[in-house]
Structure 1
């Protein structure tokens, strides 16, 4: 495999050459309508405000599902500033994933659709279908704000997995907006890493222009191992004021094999999901949408032993973990009221109310510590709070309710066009954990957390060459469990300044602060960590005992991210031939995080204990507590480019990150490895046939704390073919991991006792080997 740094330099150099070559030709070209300067005119009594229209090619893309016929960076987004703008024009590191892109790659889980998005990675376990997203090296406990149709997804379960995940099947998604870093602090509290905003499918994703009703049927199968998908989505426009839309999804797969040919236990799952939306337009400019999404995930988490555990030595190498059959149900209900009219300069509002429940019930089906793996407890072998017994149950329940209200008022002062956006938002998490035998109620404590805030943002545009975005956000939080409580508040500023000295060339600078309140787990975790059948080393202050003791920390301070950013947006049309286009976003950033929260071990101390009738002694850390590290820093470079000539297209995205605890100069375990992704393709038969490829070259990140197993370096190559013989039939074929590479995409924490990795974590972390997939989509519709 070629060195990643060499490939990265070559690929990025080629992009730079393209951008430099195109800039002079555009210095004299006509400006696109979105950037054309507006001539002076007398002030009318009431002026219509400008409406950002989608690119014309995007309007035609419905008939070309699965084909990237337009630039995704031209898609309208509101994620960065809550005002409509194209992603390429935003003075922020914004990326958009469209429905056409999602359907073209036939994703099995969400990580698949982000391969070409810079600054985004995932810490997913193969035996858990939940998604754990990482943006710019930050993840867990809400550092990335995840919203689905405006509803926060705050589910968290502590174990040998990421401390923050959510359930969402990619077949439900209509589009995705990603903002990297705290530059989107007005979007909501906590997002010091960024925002991932998911929109589920709606009627406009199925019905074509002129249709009153429409239905999409989709079916797919795949290898490695027995993958299958079936979905149906349809809607009807009852009249111009009422739309009804709904859909259902069923997905299943067996255990997959990694690139080394090893079957990864419990990576099979079964997913059923559905959504329903009702849209009414009671008056001109008003739209009220009622939405509901339900998902049911049936899977098993944990790993079986890889051999007989007869002695301590082989157990360290081949022992798996307890296995739990899991039934995770996710419910999301939303009510959204929008008002917007081109001739109303003062009111452009969005009111959202939502509720979200994640209910994960688990029952033990396998115990790696019981002879022959039967897990049946006897008087002689009664089990314990880790190994337990077959039939032991535990559950994790999170209820989140919230609202988000904002309005934009617009006015002109001379050549200045101004937009003031202001709003308030709040959500409350209610966590309830129970465990019939183990310690899940210790590691994921029950409690409530209320987070609220308000913001005001001023967006100023002068002529066609200057834009200034300034904002101030106020955050407040309260959390409690039993007799322990905590609270805090803060003001967080933001300012971005961009100039366009040459048409299509917009450099900008930005400074933004974000505020993340500590989570319930970080603040209130308390008690002994289960022994798993081993000796009890320490007695804890709360009366429990175990291998070590978790200590609560009511004095835990919130994290504050202070992000400095320099970026360039490049937007050129008809570069080499009529109708071609080039889009590029480049960013340099440094996020300084004050009071970064991490789990810290106490100084090892001596213990003595009795185990199996024999005295034992040694040294180990007695206490683990979430504490504030004074300062952490994550900095890096990101690039996202795409050139589309119609008959062919090519793009490069890149991520280079470094992150450290600046007090110890030790790397952060969650910082992403260097990655360069090259994508491209050709279109034949009047664009009915598209053949595309994606190549991600990823380096291993070795700058991590002692005791972590680094991620692997790897090359992931995927091929995609989409053929549309008629306007209503789409055939898809793809090959994932063409090279059949073994890869682990993230670092894994080691065991505290012997320095080896936790077996259930290392065995479940590799991605699947080569996968062949084929699909058929049929559209029905009429007037």
Structure 2
């Protein structure tokens, strides 16, 4: 064997902070206690490294001069598009070979390491490990070879952490587009009451909190949110649930326990995920077996436990995965979160006593149970099948006092939301460069049960359901031409939304059942969207990339709804009074008699009912174009144009009923509603540099400026229904053009001992704010019609994050400052309540790694205990006051 047991134990004591190194040494201990092992003999550097990921097998141009091995591997990571990590201390004194020319990543790595005396191998979970041998079946032994700390290479967009801001993977800073990732590192380091808190530090992105008592997530990107303007997904499965409210309407229910990363696109693409979206997408990706099982092991898992002050009672989860064979793995996990109603900050004022009991925000707690089950099967060498199920059960209350300051008339709703997401994925990647096929099929079902108390709506809607069935198929073909590399991506995606709202108790007035009118704000209906797309990526040289694409989106809305006209009081008969004469006095003489009368008898008042059938479809061609250049290896400026198209949703298309209480004839669908259309222009640049001041420091930077125009923006106004001969509140297309422009910056410098990073979001919005009335007049949307809110992001938000790592990086201490300007939304008749002052919040955090498997984390949010309402919320829903949390993470 290579080393003795005593040497191994000494090495463990000396390098306790190096997680991967210890894992490899422990594996060697197990091997030492077992039978003797047969090693395959090979010359140094002769092992074939099979690196996988997006475009991992495609040849590309490499220009890596001979240099210290650590630096060379950093350059290799940038030029190959793969994630590379290395402990620099153990690579000092080694020099790489020069690599120049067109090679696959594995060929380039083999050439670079040739004759260096470094052994490397391939693991079953699609990573390359250099300098470690933990699996007898794949081990490569090189006599006299230097045993380095493990170097793990993982591919492309599969990487979930890196050297960027809050652990953002490097591919973000190599992609010529406005993309961001919330890494697993950021998720673990930030205990949250709700998954929406993760979005607070992403440039250009907010989570709307205007319905803060509801834990559902409504994502706002560059001022666009709700009604599927932002495609929100869990493992690629659409989350189309909508429920009417004065604030946010679209909600996604997902827990942080099983999220491996959150991918964010801030504009649309000519690929999977953009069908029917206007302003981008958010995909919550869940754990894979490789996230839990260390290389060379057959099983692994983790336990996370968090508790804290200010009613942060408990947040715990466990997940584990096992490889039943080289080709089959199973992953499962459960989580439980119990958060109570919190105190708001003491330093400042709150605006509405109706939502507070003392300093406590009413009904701001939640109880969440989540689970995950996933299987991954390598069916053949070329085909992989993944099946997944994620369940989220959120229980919470909503409500307020009927009048400000009245402590005796509490309106309360008890709600339970169960979200089940079922996914399947088939990946086929044979040896041919013409085939890299990905097929996805999913079904998402979300059910919201609601029971109201102390309100006229107690007999109202109690069950909201949205089912979404969808899938996609795409293929990428790659070619080497005489004039450069060409990649073609083409395919289609489709999904169908089926919304149903059901009452468990009816609403009857004067003997007539008007139950369906109370569900009209969140109506039932169906919507189908189908999209075909194709794009080409052309790389004539290593400094120029040109890509363009075209997609065609088609939609169909089908169903019927009911509206009610004016109140009618029927005449069911008449009461007849006969003529009568009165006696005549002697003088003057009698001049006649009074005539008889016929008086109508009125029946019970009722509202005339009208059925409205909806059968509408349409489509649009949507081009995209991107040009990126690399004047130097570390700099990538780019420009991008994309056209987007959002069809009306079920809520917008089937609206009916009234605004709560006995009102039943306030709303009606607009049969002439047009889809929204957007044009987005982006100019940006990526910077990715390593080894600036030392061998280990890194700098990551992305800046994007954008300008967007939207026509036919949909908001609230009114229409006239000629059949019912009545005017109704309805969704309408706004006149003119809505314009949004802004700047987004994300950056991070990491010297290991110290780091500093942050984001900046600057946005200006010029909203179309009028619509054409049925009489042909231009009506401002703030004229008192309706209650729809158009949320504008604050003009400026700056986040600064810095910290230090001490004691061989076992201890991390950091702090964060977030400064947000005031919020000023545009809306109908409810402007008061959604305008909020700016605020500044301070947070501190830290962690201590007892050993590679155990880490303790702590955090204090809202350190100065300021009372404030988060941006894109409501000023009667303040954020939590000072909250301290402590978390324990154990991996096995």
1:405 and 2:511 are equivalent in the alignment: no
- Rounded to whole Å, the distance in 1 between the matches of 2:441 and 2:735 is 36
2:683 corresponding residue in structure 1: 566
Instruction: Give the distance between the partners of 1:217 and 1:522, measured in 2 at CA.
Output: 43
**The one of 755, 763, 771 aligned to 1:649:** 755
Does residue 279 (structure 1) correspond to residue 367 (structure 2)? The answer is no
- 1:191 is displaced (CA, Å) by 2.3
Q: Which residue of 1 aligns with 2:858?
A: 733
Matched, 1:671 2:792: yes
- What residue number does 2:417 align with? 328
Q: Which residue of 1 aligns with 2:206?
A: 121
8 Å Cα contact 2:464-2:500 kept in structure 1: yes
Q: Match of 1:92?
A: 177
1:694 and 1:60 mapped to 2: Cα distance? 31
**Residue 227 of structure 2: SS of its match in structure 1?**
coil
Secondary structure of the 2:621 match is strand
Match of 2:445 among 336, 357, 363: 357
Question: 1:747, CA displacement in angstroms?
Answer: 5.0
Alignment CA distance shift 1:136-1:703 (3 Å): same
Q: Quickly say closer, same or farther: Cα 1:41–1:227, change in 2 above 3 A.
A: closer
CA–CA distance in structure 1, aligned partners of residues 275 and 424 of structure 2: 21
* 1-structure distance, mates of 2:408, 2:528: 41
Contact 2:270–2:535 (8 Å) recurs in 1: no
* Aligned mate of 2:491, from 401, 405, 423: 423
Does residue 33 (structure 1) correspond to residue 154 (structure 2)? The answer is: no
What are the within-5 Å matches in structure 2 for residues 337-416 of structure 1?
A: 337-341=426-430, 343-367=431-455, 384=456, 386=457, 388=458, 394-416=462-484
Specify the alignment match of 1:501 in structure 2: 631
User: Cα–Cα, structure 1 residues 220 and 99, in superposed 2: closer, same or farther, change >3 Å?
Assistant: same
2:329 is aligned, of 234, 243, 258, to 243
- Cα gap change, 1:202 to 1:689, in 2 (>3 Å): same
Q: Is the 8 A contact 1:149 1:334 kept in 2?
A: yes
Among 135, 143, 148, the residue aligned to 2:221: 135
Alignment partner, residue 397 of structure 2: 300
Q: 1:440 to 1:136 in 2, by over 3 A?
A: farther
Which structure 2 residue ranges, 5 or more long, are not aligned? Answer: 1-64, 81-98, 112-121, 131-149, 155-159, 347-357, 508-514, 561-612, 721-725, 771-779, 783-788
Provide Cα deviations, 1:282-319, integer angstroms capped at 9, x if missing partner. 1112210110111111111222346665xxxxxxxx89
Q: Call closer, same or farther: CA 1:490–1:214 in 2, change over 3 Å.
A: same
1-side partners of 2:869 and 2:822: how far apart? Answer: 9
SS of structure 2 residue aligned to 1:506? strand
1:633 Cα deviation from its structure 2 partner = 0.9
- Indicate conservation of the 8 Å contact 1:72/1:98, yes or no: no
Q: Once the 2 structures are TM-superposed, how far is the Cα of residue 777 of structure 1 from its aligned partner?
A: 1.6
Q: Partners of 1:102 and 1:74 in 2: how far apart?
A: 10
Tell me which of 597, 617, 621 is aligned to 1:491: 621
Specify the alignment match of 1:661 in structure 2. 767
CA contact (8 A) 2:314 2:337 kept: yes
**Between Structure 1 and Structure 2, whose CA radius of gyration is higher?**
2
User: The residue matched to 2:640 in structure 1 has which SS?
Assistant: strand
Change (3 A) 1:747 1:503: closer
CA shift at 1:339, angstroms? 1.9
CA distance in 2, matches of 1:195, 1:728: 35
1-side partners of 2:541 and 2:847: how far apart? 43
Q: Which residue of 2 aligns with 1:450?
A: 528
Is 1:590 the counterpart of 2:671? The answer is no
Query: Which residue does 2:656 correspond to in 1?
Result: 526
Equivalent residues of 2:551, 2:621 under 8 A apart = yes
The residue aligned with 1:176 is 262
Q: Is 244-253 or 357-366 further displaced after alignment?
A: 357-366
Does the CA contact (< 8 Å) of 2:547 and 2:626 recur in 1?
yes
Residues 363 and 666 of structure 1: is their aligned pair in 2 closer, same or farther, counting only changes over 3 Å? Answer: closer
The verdict on how the C-alpha distance between 1:39 and 1:687 changes in structure 2, with shifts beyond 3 A counting, is closer
Q: Which moved more, 1:495-504 or 1:103-112?
A: 103-112
Cα distance in structure 1, aligned partners of 2:696 and 2:889: 29
Aligned counterpart, 1:220: 306
**Alpha carbons of 1:641 and 1:308: their partners in 2 closer, same or farther (altered >3 Å)?**
closer
Report the Cα distance in structure 2 between the residues aligned to 1:35 and 1:687, rounded to whole angstroms.
25
Shift in Å, 1:593 = 0.7
Mean CA deviation greater in 430-439 or 348-357? 430-439
Q: Distance in 1 between matches of 2:731 and 2:532?
A: 32
Distance 1:35 1:246, change over 3 A: closer
Q: Which 5+ residue runs of structure 1 have no aligned equivalent?
A: 1-25, 62-66, 77-84, 310-317, 368-383, 537-543, 604-619, 749-760
CA distance in 2, matches of 1:320, 1:53: 61
Identify which range, 319-328 or 215-224, moves more after superposition. Answer: 319-328
Displacement of 1:154: 0.6
Q: Larger deviation: 332-341 or 434-443? A: 434-443
- 1:551 aligned residue (657, 668, 673): 668
Counterpart CA distance in 2 for 1:170 and 1:646 is: 27
Deviation at 1:418, TM superposition (A): 0.9
- Give the direction of change, closer, same or farther, for the CA distance of 1:157–1:42 in structure 2 (3 Å limit): closer
Contact 1:142–1:154 (8 Å) recurs in 2: yes
TM-score scaled to structure 2, two decimals?
A: 0.70
Tell me the matched-pair count: 667
Q: Please give the secondary structure, in 2, of the residue aligned with 1:228.
A: strand
Query: What does the per-residue CA deviation read over 1:31-78, in whole Å, with 9 as the maximum and x for residues that have no partner?
Result: 9235559956799xx999x999899999499xxxxx9873369966xx
Instruction: Calculate the TM-score normalised by the size of structure 1.
Output: 0.80
Q: Distance in 1 between matches of 2:78 and 2:792?
A: 37
Match of 2:498, SS state, is strand
Supply the distance in 2 between the matched residues of 1:440 and 1:259 (Cα, whole angstroms): 37
**In structure 2, distance between residues paired with 1:586 and 1:320:** 51
Taking the aligned partners of 2:108 and 2:432, their CA distance within structure 1 comes to: 8
Q: Work out whether 1:694 is the aligned partner of 2:805.
A: no
Indicate the structure whose relative CO is greater, using CA pairs within 8 Å and at least 6 residues apart.
1
Q: Distance in 2 between matches of 1:34 and 1:471?
A: 28
Residues 1:745 and 2:788 are matched in the alignment: no
Asked if the contact 2:520–2:654 (Cα under 8 Å) also holds between the matched residues in 1, the reply is no
**How far apart in 2 are the matches of 1:490 and 1:585?**
32
Given that 2:165 and 2:747 are in contact with CA atoms closer than 8 Å, whether structure 1 keeps it comes out as: no
How far apart, in 1, do the equivalents of 2:669 and 2:371 lie? Answer: 40
Matched, 1:112 2:205: no
CA 36–104 in structure 1, closer or farther in 2 if over 3 Å, else same: closer
- Tell me how far apart the structure 1 counterparts of residues 557 and 372 of structure 2 sit (CA, whole Å): 32
**Aligned partners of 2:329 and 2:100: how far apart in 1?**
40
Q: CA RMSD in A?
A: 3.3
1:18-57 mapped onto 2 (5 Å cutoff): 32-33=75-76, 36=79
SS for the counterpart of 1:498 is strand
Looking at structure 1, the residues matched to 183 and 152 of structure 2 have their Cα atoms a distance apart, in angstroms, of: 13
Report the CA distance shift for 1:597/1:457 in structure 2 as closer, same or farther (over 3 A).
same
Taking the aligned partners of 2:129 and 2:497, their CA distance within structure 1 comes to 39
Does structure 1 residue 768 correspond to structure 2 residue 856? no
- Separation of aligned partners in 1, 2:541 and 2:362: 60
Displacement of 1:572 in angstroms is: 1.2
